[in-house]
Amino acid sequence: MPKKGMRGIRRQQFINAAIKVILQDGLTGISNARIAMLAGLSPSLLPHYFPDRTLLLDAILRQILRRCHTIAKEHLNRHEDPLDRLHILINTHFRDDLFTPEMKRLCRDMHHATYDSKILKATYGTYQNRLLSAVRCELHPLVSARSLDAASSGFIALLNGLWMKALYEPALLQPADAVDLQKQYLRMITTRIRIKAGDSLG
């Protein structure tokens, strides 16, 4: 059994080691022995922290999503303008470190794993709901109340679609181009709605 006070440390060692395995060889390279070797721990300890592979993958997914949230929050804390804050949310999801060959492998494998697991779907769904809430909050002063739901849902749908396209088909869409398209959509919906509001006042 894990020693008292070591559980959190060893759990993180196993998570970090599993991420290294996926970065190098994908999900097919995962095994208790390989993870334990990279973690510098005994393979017999791994089941005490993660009784099955799904729980380990869920911990990995949570760490990836938590990093996205942390990076966005650090930048958001320095800006108050809602348009700037929406640009930050866009940039966070298309940052360079997510599109290295190794990270693309990790993201693709985790994406496939999410479709095969209710637990991972729930974790990713929670992140998406929080992201949608954040987008709604920033769009609120920029669009009409009647348009807010559609604008927010459209923002998230396009963000996810562009991210997947850049991840799986970089020859057709580079991350920088995806960012430009997402920001173009944002300009379109906010400008169009402001023009309509001005026309109604006139």
User: Percentage of residues in the chain with pLDDT exceeding 90?
Assistant: 88
3-state DSSP of 54-120: HHHHHHHHHHHHHHHHHHHHHHHCCCCCHHHHHHHHHHHHCCHHHCCHHHHHHHHHHHHHHHCCHHH
Q: Can you give the CATH number for the domain in which 111 is found?
A: 1.10.357.10
pLDDT of residue 3 exceeding 90, the answer is no
pLDDT, position 145? 92
pLDDT of residue 199 exceeding 60, the answer is no
Beta carbons within 8 Å of 51's beta carbon, 6+ residues apart: none
pLDDT of residue 202 exceeding 80, the answer is no
Let me know whether 93 and 15 are in one domain.
no
Signed CA dihedral, 108, 112, 113, 119: sign only: positive
Going by the DSSP 8-state scheme, the letter that residue 29 receives in this structure is G
Averaged pLDDT for residues 79-93: 97
Let me know whether 29 and 75 are in one domain.
no
The SS3 of residue 25 is helix
The SS3 of residue 153 is helix
Domain that holds residue 34: 1-51
Residue-wise pLDDT for 17-60, tens only, equals 999 999 998 998 899 999 999 999 999 999 999 999 999 999 99
pLDDT, position 88? 97
CB 7 within 8 A of CB 49: yes
**This model's pTM is above 0.75:** yes
Residue-wise pLDDT for 48-65, tens only, equals 999 999 999 999 999 999
Overall number of domains in the chain: 2
Q: Can you give the CATH number for the domain in which 30 is found?
A: 1.10.10.60
Going by the DSSP 8-state scheme, the letter that residue 6 receives in this structure is T
